[in-house]
Amino acid sequence: AQSVTQLDSHVSVSEGTPVLLRCNYSSSYSPSLFWYVQHPNKGLQLLLKYTSAATLVKGINGFEAEFKKSETSFHLTKPSAHMSDAAEYFCVVSPPTSGTYKYIFGTGTRLKVLA
Amino acid sequence: SAVISQKPSRDICQRGTSLTIQCQVDSQVTMMFWYRQQPGQSLTLIATANQGSEATYESGFVIDKFPISRPNLTFSTLTVSNMSPEDSSIYLCSVSDRGRLSNEQFFGPGTRLTVL
């Protein structure tokens, strides 16, 4: 079965310090992986996606993630946190089965940025 | 990309009633999905809306409770039937298109439902 685990439900960082949000996946096939952000009372926005091209993926707003098959991980990083980064972040796996392109969401990580 | 709108954006309903949520996309897409996000929780897929045929429901969701229509490639509705307070959630639709959008999904802004 396909699944995705976000290891931290809450992460707090100071403004200007690095951000690390951890995600591990389980998939029998080579999956597509995504990170989405949800700001309070806003919709979901795609940050970045991995679809079997380069293992280091750069996204919007300075975020990037590295696909590590040996560790089954797809951690999200940013060198320097900004106050506007405070939001809920979801790691998503989309296994290429049945051609349905369904998403399986992680439980989410709430990022708090301290001034 | 795709631009998705949902109506209503929020509603407060009485238990036992039903609410129909509309999802409109600005271009034809092959796939439309409906999700539920319970308070403080992640998103759970309810069903895949299939154009011209019955929706495909995920485990734990049934057609009698969440009937779905998809009359064309740009529009879908989700009805939450015989509501109870446990149905209070944000309901989101998303779209994907194998050809144009790869397997990336684009999400609507959501419908915030409160059941009293």
For the stretch B38-51, pLDDT in tens is 998 999 999 999 88
The rounded mean pLDDT for chain B is 92
CA gyration radius for chain B? Answer: 13
Nearest CA in chain A to B107: A44
pLDDT at B101: 57
Asked if B33 has any chain A CB less than 8 Å from its own CB, the reply is: yes
Q: Do A102 and B43 touch (CB under 8 A)?
A: no
Please spell the DSSP secondary structure of B33-59, one letter per residue: EEEEE-TT--EEEEEEEPTTS--EEPT
Q: B104, A49: Cβ pair inside 8 Å? A: yes
Nearest to B104 among A46, A90, A102 (CB): A46
Q: Which of A32, A46, A90 sits opposite B42 (nearest CB)?
A: A90
Over residues A89-107, mean pLDDT: 81
A105:B43 CB<8 A: yes
- Chain-centre distance of CA A66, in angstroms? 10
Taking Cα atoms as reference points, which of A34, A13, A2 lies closest to residue A110? Answer: A13
Asked whether residue B99 carries a pLDDT value surpassing 70, the answer given is no
Inter-chain CB proximity A51 and B45 less than 8 Å: no
The pLDDT tens digits for A71-97 are: 999 999 999 999 999 999 999 998 765
- All residues of chain B having their beta carbon less than 8 Å from the beta carbon of residue A46 are 104, 106
CA nearest A43: which of B105, B30, B19, B73? B105
For the four alpha carbons of A4, A26, B49 and B99, in that order, the dihedral sign comes to: positive
Tell me how close the Cα of B41 comes to any Cα of chain A, in angstroms. Answer: 7
Contact A43 B92 (CB under 8 A): yes
Instruction: Give the DSSP per-residue string, chain A.
Output: --EEEES-SEEEEETTS-EEE-EEEE-SS--EEEEEEE-TT--EEEEEEESSS-SEEE-GGG-EEEEETTTTEEEEEESS--GGG-EEEEEEEE--STT----EE---EEEEEE-
Between A42 and B91, residue with greater pLDDT: B91
DSSP state of B63: T
Residue A55 has pLDDT above 70, yes or no: yes
